[in-house]
Structure 1
Amino acid sequence: MRPRSDRVPVTNAAKATTLWGVVSVLCVVLVAMGAFGIAFGAVNIDLGTVADVIWNRLLGGSQHIGGVNDQIVWNLRTPRVLLAAAVGAGLALVGTVLQATVRNPLADPYVLGVSAGAGLMASITITYGAAALAGLPTSTTAFAGALMATVAVLWLGQRGGRYSPTRLVLAGVTLSYLFTGLTSFVIFRSADPDKTRSVMFWLLGSLGQAKWSNIAIPTTVVVVGCGYLLLQTRALNAMVLGDEAALSLGFPVHRLRWKFLISTSLMTGVLVALVGGIGFVGLVIPHLVRIIVGPDHRRVLPIAVLVGAIYLIAVDLLCRIVISPEELPIGIVTSVLGAPLFLWLLRRKGAER
């Protein structure tokens, strides 16, 4: 006689319902956090005025347009909040995909040296001008640096045609130190103090450059990248099991790995070129999401995107109000918050073993 079980089996329909419920709640939280990010700062504006300004701007009304509140809400804070959401979502997505692609929970654009490579090339462009790199704009050179770092990490991280997660991370950390040292040399040799300050503040990360004219490209890149990678969740689930398992399931592992790494390099390069170095988002957010919803990337990816967007809007708001009217570089705050959280995650995982 079969033993009776009191557990109710969870169907795919129930899982889908739960996923959509979590996504719906996070969307509401994202909108609310965006409203707070627009309303509060060096000058606080009540939420009703924020809603009126945005409503009139979107519908072409004349009320509140042209005043001080209109300038603050529409021209300064709204593009900044949108950029924070795009960057947070993009970094969380990139970190999740990289951790699955290289099968290492420590992987993210900063640990693997991708951001450092992008930062080196962008620093050269800022310091010496676009003419120093064949007239290419900062976003293009940053992407080239990210791709260069990715190729170098892949080459150093393989042996006999096989990728070792440990070797990939060690190669990434080593290259990150190398690129960071070269970036410091570029800054040291700079003869223009203004450019040096710009590079230093940029390396620490800032959303202060956000405006309507420069958020279209990063937002488009993140949206397209999210759309593509959200369609690859089955492949990511297979790659976590290892190359042999993924190949046996019919997935072209090597081709997919290159596609994922190039797409994440593109996203990282574009984001780093505009906002600078913002660490720990792509490292910590995926781990937190997996604790909540499990390892299935069909759930992890969309939730990580939303949590990353919410998190960076909140951090940017904190940067603007802690020492108001001055502003903290956002990379400082993400590191101060992210490092202890990641250490807690390491201890938690160690206790579970």
Structure 2
Amino acid sequence: MQKKVQLYRLLLILLLITLVVISLFVGAYNFENSVLNTFLNLFTGSEGISASDHFVLFQLRMPRIIMAILIGSALAVAGTCLQGMFKNPLASPDLIGITSGAVLFAAVTIVLGASIRPFIPEALHYSLISIMAFVGAILTMSFVYKMSTTNGRTNVVILLLSGVAITALTGAATGMLTYLSTDEELRNLTFWTLGSLAGANWTKNLVLAIVVITGLLFLVGKGKALNAMMLGERDAQHLGIDVEKTKKQIVIFSALMVGTAVSFAGTIGFVGLIVPYILRLLFKSNYTVILPLSIILGSIIMVLADTISRVIVQPAELPIGILTAIMGAPVFIAILIRFKKTL
């Protein structure tokens, strides 16, 4: 088993590196030198890269790639942990209302921004949508978690049902704002809710990296706890697992990572659903193996989707959320068919 894990890890890392290189050099922009010469100059430290080529590589494409890796790993690990906690392969970060809360607050900012901005410091105007989306994710998570927690114990079923309810409520509010929006606001809202990495820059990546790396450090080590919880919460407690503390950490850090990802890139669905499903086909429900690999596979899916989104309709850009949905929907259907056969 250990050799199999190491082999898959190596293959996934090589695939990710390959995709990063491809993504760096493909797109609507035509390099002044050939792609091969630009590649050689870049990786040999040569001074032969023009200013425009350098700008495209390091100010446009590299930040997008880094953001794709961070967001892909965050969504994948959050989805894997939530599926392990719920003991349900259909669980995803959208399940407890995190994404819908972020979308609602972003919609409020887009549609009612002119009324909000006078009360906000001018320095925050540029990042107002991202800040509000993050606040929405945290508030939604806090509400759902308080609804499902009594005397320090979290009821997973109530957590799930609360997430469904808050998703429906915020979805209705977002629909109302969409109905009230002007044509320009509607275009911005539609593009944002479909997801895009076009706004990536090094400053956003720094903030995202701090949140995502912190979340990953806490969640990736929960593999043994999740394996024990698969046996049942009572059995996990007998094995020395603090079940309530583990559930609290999973909910909080999943919300932080997903909320930050949504605030910077909009709604990107299905990554947290398909990554753990693919890995479980290979390694069953061994979360000590699945969690570290989900970082790499989530990054691969996001880099691949972003590269396709930039190339498929160039010089325009296809929202990345559409591609992840196209990739994820067949997997979702496959899960349902598999469950149907077990009934």
Superposition TM-score, scaled by structure 2 size? 0.87
Q: 1:91 and 2:79 equivalent?
A: no
CA distance in 2, matches of 1:133, 1:36: 45
Give 1:139-218 correspondences, 5 Å limit.
Answer: 139-156=130-147, 163-165=155-157, 167-190=158-181, 193-218=183-208
Letter paired with 1:215: N
RMSD: 2.6
- Matched with 1:48 is 36
- Matched with 2:59 is 75
Letter paired with 1:287: Y
Q: Kindly indicate which of the two structures has a greater share of residues assigned to helix.
A: 2
CA distance in 2, matches of 1:235, 1:259: 12
- Of the three residues 230, 240, 243, the one matched with 2:230 is 240
**How far did residue 97 of structure 1 move?**
0.9
- Matched with 1:306 is 296
- Of the three residues 18, 25, 33, the one matched with 1:32 is 18
User: Residue 90 of structure 2: SS of its match in structure 1?
Assistant: coil
- Matched with 2:49 is 64
Q: 1:279 and 2:264 equivalent?
A: no
CA distance in 2, matches of 1:286, 1:316: 20
Alpha-carbon distance change, 205 to 53 in structure 1, aligned in 2, over 3 angstroms: farther
Q: Is the 8 A contact 1:133 1:141 kept in 2?
A: no
CA distance in 2, matches of 1:234, 1:131: 47
Aligned identity (percent) is: 31
**How far did residue 142 of structure 1 move?**
2.6
- Cα deviation digits, residues 41-81 of structure 1 (max 9, x gap): 2236565345345436xx5x532141x32222222111111
Structure 1 unaligned residues grouped into runs of 5+: 1-14
User: Residue 93 of structure 2: SS of its match in structure 1?
Assistant: coil
- Matched with 1:290 is 280
Q: Is the 8 A contact 2:38 2:49 kept in 1?
A: no
Q: 1:230 and 2:227 equivalent?
A: no
**How far did residue 203 of structure 1 move?**
0.8
Q: 1:128 and 2:112 equivalent?
A: yes
CA distance in 1, matches of 2:55, 2:179: 38
Instruction: Judge which range, 266-275 or 47-56, deviates more.
Output: 47-56
CA distance in 1, matches of 2:173, 2:23: 36
The runs of at least 4 aligned residues of structure 1 exceeding 6 Å deviation read none
CA distance in 1, matches of 2:251, 2:14: 32
CA distance in 2, matches of 1:249, 1:133: 52
Structure 2 unaligned residues grouped into runs of 5+: none
CA distance in 1, matches of 2:71, 2:7: 24
Q: Is the 8 A contact 1:84 1:316 kept in 2?
A: yes
Q: Is the 8 A contact 2:149 2:155 kept in 1?
A: yes
Alpha-carbon distance change, 53 to 273 in structure 1, aligned in 2, over 3 angstroms: farther
Instruction: Judge which range, 39-48 or 216-225, deviates more.
Output: 39-48
Superposition TM-score, scaled by structure 1 size? 0.85
Alpha-carbon distance change, 307 to 294 in structure 1, aligned in 2, over 3 angstroms: same
**How far did residue 304 of structure 1 move?**
1.2
- Of the three residues 91, 96, 108, the one matched with 1:112 is 96
**How far did residue 350 of structure 1 move?**
3.3
Instruction: Judge which range, 108-117 or 278-287, deviates more.
Output: 108-117
- Matched with 1:266 is 256
**How far did residue 144 of structure 1 move?**
2.9
**How far did residue 200 of structure 1 move?**
2.0
User: Residue 213 of structure 1: SS of its match in structure 2?
Assistant: helix
**How far did residue 339 of structure 1 move?**
1.1
- Matched with 2:331 is 341
User: Residue 111 of structure 1: SS of its match in structure 2?
Assistant: helix
